Amino acid sequence: MPQPQPARPQAPNVEFEQTTPYEDYVRASVLSRLQEPLSEDPGEMAFLVTTQVMELWFTVLVHEWRTAARALREDDLPAAMAALKRSAYELESLNASWKPLAQLTPAQFNAYRSALGEASGFQSATYRRLEFLLGDKSASMLVPYRGTPATHAALEKALREPSLYDEVLSWLARRGHPIPASVLDRDVSVRHEADPAVEEVWQRVYAGDQNSDECRLGEALTEVAELVWRWRNDHLVATRRAMGAKVGSGGSAGVAWLEKRAAKTVFPELWTARSHV
């Protein structure tokens, strides 16, 4: 019996009445019009595009962590784990975004630094939402957005919603773990501070079945926390290399501010519990 012949691949469609379907979906022409360097230095384009790429990754991460938080609230661990796993890959891509900027010398950065004016990454509203989801909250962080009511309202809403870690602790409590009421019922608009009882819960989780849902969730969160720390540290190193200890753009403390951020631990009890296992 003759064997069936594989179908010949069809030639791609190259004729469209208006824009291509790719353009309609990706909006590439919109993206490529968003770069407007303000200096004559050719290096500014890489700085601007890299910063915009970082903003896009912030948007994706906010989406993933909101998805994970909602899934945990609904006791859908597989959906939460899938979102956390995706976010780890996305964090790796975000962190790689520092490479075009990590080798800047002070002279190279100074060639277009004045074009930034008072602009500073500290002012990124999407990054602020990302930090809020990680549990690093403070009402004072809303001050820069008072002049943009819609952005301020969105961030104020995010400030008062449970963080990803708040949802993790509530999920653990529903699974029968002794998370204190003082943690579960706390004001979620303030930064989560490490609690000894929560540390003990994670200690027991890690001393038990390594294939348990709790242990797998803990490791997924630890991976996220480590990659966030690497992001903060890479930001610190790149800034220190480009401008030393000078005052940052927008009047920030520059390296001194970034050092404080890099020293903060995301999901703290997941790290301290390891000392007791």
Do residues 269 and 218 lie in contact, with contact meaning Cβ atoms separated by under 8 Å?
no
pLDDT of 253: 62
Mapping DSSP onto H, E and C, the string for 168-231 reads HHHHHHHCCCCCCHHHHCCCCCCCCCCCHHHHHHHHHHHHCCCCCHHHHHHHHHHHHHHHHHHH
List pLDDT tens digits, range 90-135: 999 999 999 999 889 999 999 999 998 888 888 999 999 999 999 9
Residues contacting residue 202 through CB under 8 Å, at least 6 positions apart:
218, 269, 270, 273
What's this model's pTM, rounded to 2 decimal places? 0.91
Binding site as annotated, residues for substrate: 113
How is the chain split into domains, by residue range? 42-102+123-276
Which CATH number is correct for 42-102+123-276, 1.20.58.480, 3.40.190.10, 1.10.8.50, 1.10.472.10? 1.20.58.480
Binding site as annotated, residues for heme: 235
pLDDT of 2: 63
Q: Which of 11-20, 109-118, 146-155, 161-170 has the least mean pLDDT?
A: 11-20
Binding site as annotated, residues: 113, 235
